[in-house]
Chains A and B, each alone.
Chain A
Amino acid sequence: MNYKTFVTSQSIMMTASSMVFPFYLLLIRNIGDSYAQFGWAYGLFALTAALAHPVVGRLSDRVGDKWLLLLYTWGMAGMMLVVPIIENVGQLYVLQIVMGVLGAVQKTTEKTVFARQNDEAAAGKRVGKYHLWTTIWGAAAVIATGYLIDFLTIGSLFYVASFLYVVSGLVMGYGTISRSRREIIVDEGL
C-alpha cells in the first residue's frame, strides 16, 4: 500500500462516516428513551474503544496495518447495514460495542501507518496532508448530505455509507495486493 492509496481509501472512509454521523446521533437519541441511555450508548462505545486500543496496537505489529484497515472498512460496511434495522436499545448497545472496537482499529492503525514511515524529517508534512484531505472529504460529505437528505430516506443514507466503506475497502485491498509486489511503503512524492 502506498501513501496515495492510503489517503484515498481513508478519505472515502471519512466521507462515509461523516455523512452518517449526525443522523447516527439522532438515531441513538431516538432509540433510547432517555439521555441516560444516550449516555450509556455513547459511553460503551468509548469504553470498548479504550480497552481495544492496546490489543489493536499489538495486533497491528503482528499482522500489519493494512489488514486491520481492511477489517475496519469491511466491518463498518457491515455495521452500516445493521444500523437502519435495529429496534431496541439492547441491540444499540451491542452495535456500539462492536463499533467501539472498530473505531479503535481505525484510530490506532492510521497512526501506526505513519509511525512506521522512516522519513522523520517529512513526518509532520505527511500527517498534515493526510488530515487535510480526509477532513476536506469529511466536510464535503456533511454539507452534501444536508442537501441529499431531502431526497433520501435516513435508511438509504446508511446504505450509501455502507457502500462507500466497501469502496474504501476495495481501494485498500488493491493497495494490499500491490504491497506484496513492492514490499515497502513508498511515498510518491506527496
Chain B
Amino acid sequence: MKKKVLACALLVYGLAAAGSMTIYSEQQSQVNVRDVGRLLPTMVKEVRSVQDSYELQEWMKNTSDTISIAGMQHSQGGQTMYPGAVMLDMKGYNKILHLDRKQKKITVQSGATWRDIQNAVNPYGLSVQVMQSQNIFTVGGSLSVNVHGRDITYGSLIDTVDSFRLLRADGTVINVSRSENSELFPLVIGGYGLFGVILDVSLNLADDELYQLRTAQMDYDEYSDYFNGKVKSKSDVRMHIARLSVAPDTFLKEMYATDYVLYRDQSKREKYCKLREKEDIVLPKMMLGLSRYSDWGKNTLWETQRDYFMKKDGKLQTRNNVMRSDSAFMEYENGNKTELLQEYFVPFDNYAAYVDDLRALLEKEELNLLNISVRYVGHDEDAVLSYAKDDMFALVLLINQGRSKEDIKKTEKVVRKMIDVTLAHDGSYYLPYYQYPSQEQLEEAYPRAQEFFQAKRKYDPEERFQNLFYKRYGK
C-alpha cells in the first residue's frame, strides 16, 4: 500500500516537474528588457552581448533577425528595443583602440563609456570635447542621440566626430566620415541606431584645462543678457550650466548659473587633475526625495542647492572633472512611479518670453516638476535630425510621474502643451525621451524627419534595424 502511494507521489511529481520545466524553457526563450524610464517593458527574442566585431559580422551575415542596439539604455522612447528582436548589448565592446596624443584623437569601440575615455586620456592632459554632464554613457549611444553638454565651444557631439566604422544589415562594414560615405555621416549620428551598428569611433580631443568656477544668481529675464555679455562673448569662458527654479516660491523665475572660466595659471592643472570618484550622495538623495513629495521640499532643495553652488564661486576644477558629475543620487526605484526627462530647445532671444509662457501653462496644469537645468547649444544643422536650428538654450526638465496608463495620459497632455509652447517660440525638443509628442509635433520640430525615415529605408530596405521610436513615428 505504502509503495503504491509512493509510486503515485513520484509519478505526480515527475509530471509536475516536466510541466514546470517545459513552461520555464518556453518563458526563457524570450527576454523582458526595460529602459531606465520603465514605461516600455519589451519582450525581445534575445539579448546578445557583443565583444568582437568579426564575430558580430559573421552572425549578421547568417541571420535574418530583426535587430535593436543598446548601450546604457538611458533613452526613454524605446530606441534600444523592439518586440521579438535580437537586442545587441554593446557594453562589452569597449576597448580603447588608439590614442594619438599629437593629433589629439582617440579611437574607441562604441561600447566604451566616457568614463573609460577619461581614464585613458586624463594622464596625458587631454579631455573629451563634447559629452553629457555625466560620464556613464557609451560613445555609440551618445553618437546615436547626438548629445550635447556643458561645453559651449565645440557644438554638438557630431562636430567632434572624425570618423567611424558602421556594420550594415548585410554584414558589410564601411568607413563613414565627412569625406567617405559622407551621406551617412549626418544620418547615423543622431540616427537612433536605425542605419547599422556603430563599431569603432574616432573622436577629436581637447586639452584638459583648469577652470575657475564663477557663479551668479539672476532672474530669468536677465539671463539672456548675462549669457550674451558675460559668457558667449568671452573666449575664456569654456563651459556653462544654469538652473531655473521649480520651487513654488520662485517658480520659473529665479536662476543661478555656473561658468567655467579658463584659469590664469594653467601650470596648476596637475595639482587638480586627479579624477574625482563617487561623491557622497546621501544628502542630495534625501533632498530630492523630499522635493518629490512636497512644496516645502522643493523650496528647501532649491535654496540649499542654490546656496551650495553659489559658494563654489572661485573654486578650481579641471575640465575632465567638470565632465563627470554624479547622477547616482537620481536613481529612483519607486514601483508605481518613475522619473522622466524632457528637453526643450529655444532660441536665446526668445528665452524670457518662452519661460513666461511655460510658467503660465504650468501654473494651470498638474505636473510634478523636480528640476530644470539650462545649457547652451550653438547653431548646428549638420545632423539630419538636428535640434539646434539656431543658437539655443536647452532646458532639461526632470518630471516625476506615475507608471499607470492614466498617469501616462495625464503627462502626455501636459507635455504636448509644453511642446506646443516651445514650437511657438521657434524651438524644438529632444528625441530620446518618451513617446509623448504627436507625429505632427515631431514633423514640425524636425522638418527633415520624413527625409530621415526615407533614408533609413533606402539604406536598410528590409528594415532590419528596428526600435520603438521608429515604429511609433517612422512609418
Check if A and B associate: yes
Q: How many residues of B contact A (CB 8 A)?
A: 19
**Per-position contact with B for A107-130: 1 when CB-CB < 8 Å, else 0?**
000000000000000000000000
In whole angstroms, how far apart are the Cα atoms of A8 and B403 in the complex?
49
- A155 and B335 form a contact (CB under 8 A): no
Residues of B within 8 A of A43 (CB): none
- A74 and B335 form a contact (CB under 8 A): no
Binds A, one of B14-22, B86-94, B451-459: B14-22
Does B308 sit within 8 A of A, measured CB to CB? no
Closest B residue to A38 by beta carbon equals B335
Given contacts A84-B24, A85-B24, A177-B2, contact A159 B335 (CB under 8 A): no
Binding site secondary structure of chain A: helix
In whole angstroms, how far apart are the Cα atoms of A166 and B12 in the complex?
12
In whole angstroms, how far apart are the Cα atoms of A168 and B149 in the complex?
61
- Shortest C-beta distance, A41 to chain B (Å), equals 12
Given contacts A34-B335, A34-B336, A87-B27, contact A77 B13 (CB under 8 A): yes
- Shortest C-beta distance, B21 to chain A (Å), equals 7
**Per-position contact with B for A159-178: 1 when CB-CB < 8 Å, else 0?**
10011001000100100010
Residues of B within 8 A of A33 (CB): 335-336, 403
- B335 and A78 form a contact (CB under 8 A): no
**Per-position contact with B for A71-114: 1 when CB-CB < 8 Å, else 0?**
00010011001101101000000000000000000000000000
Q: Which of B333-347 contact A (CB under 8 A)?
A: 333-336
Q: Which of B306-347 contact A (CB under 8 A)?
A: 333-336
Does A36 sit within 8 A of B, measured CB to CB? yes
B binding-site residues for A, Cβ under 8 Å: 2, 6, 9-10, 13, 16-17, 19-21, 23-24, 27-28, 333-336, 403
A binding-site residues for B, Cβ under 8 Å: 32-37, 74, 77-78, 81-82, 84-85, 87, 153, 155, 159, 162-163, 166, 170, 173, 177
Cβ contacts A to B, 17 pairs, < 8 Å: A33-B335, A33-B336, A33-B403, A34-B334, A34-B335, A34-B336, A37-B335, A74-B9, A74-B13, A81-B16, A85-B27, A155-B24, A159-B17, A159-B20, A166-B13, A173-B2, A173-B6
